């Protein structure tokens, strides 16, 4: 990482231990054979979780800008001989090295508020829109807009309304919202603009 890139305060941390993983698994439109993008995956807790769901015929792209966090995931992939996770060191605000219209579900877990704080959410959501298949899903996990800890400062948290307003301008329609734990909510969006 170069010195002029701002690292989010929560970089490398994961909300996975805070959420109800069964509720998440039931809610996500991920199944055997799905192609999933775990965007800003950190050390890959969600990537590992989803790799079990998609199975040998599916694929999880684990994308992050931070080499150190991604290396933790790579070490676990090697140690456990996991073949369906592909780690990619990418800056999501500039380029995601995945074929256009190839991803069924993109998961952004507790990172949208970071992108928004750094004025990068516009670029990132445009990239997500490009890699999702027509009718694909964007799954956003965020911290409820309540005082922490855990989680980021209240002033940069996104309420459900703020998350919805931020995302729907990019050709997405809200599909559903649900609590996935004491501190977090999941908001599912469906890609609505089908390519020409």
Domain boundaries, the chain: 16-158+166-191
pTM: 0.92
CB distance 113 to 143 below 8 Å: yes
At 99-114, the pLDDT tens digits run 999 999 999 999 999 9
- To the nearest 10°, the Cα dihedral for 19, 63, 92, 107? -30
pLDDT value for 27 = 96
CB distance 173 to 190 below 8 Å: yes
pLDDT value for 148 = 86
At 59-97, the pLDDT tens digits run 999 999 999 999 999 999 999 999 999 999 999 999 999
Distance between CA atoms of 7 and 56, rounded to whole angstroms?
A: 34
| pLDDT tier, 147 (very low <50, low <70, confident <90, very high otherwise) | very high
Kindly indicate whether the domain formed by 16-158+166-191 is annotated with CATH number 3.40.50.150: yes
Tell me the Ramachandran region of residue 81: left when phi exceeds 0, alpha when psi lies from -120 to 50, beta otherwise.
left
């Amino acid at each position: 990482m170069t010195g002029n890139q701002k690292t989010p305060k929560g970089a490398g941390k994961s909300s996975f231990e805070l959420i109800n993983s069964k509720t998440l698994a039931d809610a996500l439109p991920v199944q055997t054979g799905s192609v999933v993008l775990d965007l800003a995956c950190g050390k890959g807790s969600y990537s590992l979780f989803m790799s079990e769901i998609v199975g040998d015929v599916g694929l999880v792209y684990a994308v992050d800008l931070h080499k150190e966090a991604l290396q933790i995931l790579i070490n676990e992939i090697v140690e456990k001989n996991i073949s369906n996770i592909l780690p990619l060191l990418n800056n999501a605000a500039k380029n995601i090295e995945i074929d256009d219209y190839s991803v069924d579900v993109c998961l952004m877990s507790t990172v949208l508020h970071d992108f928004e704080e750094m004025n990068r959410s516009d670029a990132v959501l445009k990239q997500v829109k490009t890699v999702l298949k027509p009718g694909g899903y964007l799954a956003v996990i965020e911290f409820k807009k309540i005082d922490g800890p855990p989680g980021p400062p209240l002033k940069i948290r996104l309420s459900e309304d703020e998350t919805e307003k931020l995302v729907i301008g990019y050709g997405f329609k809200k599909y559903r919202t649900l609590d996935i734990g004491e501190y977090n909510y999941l908001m599912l969006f469906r890609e609505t603009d089908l390519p020409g």
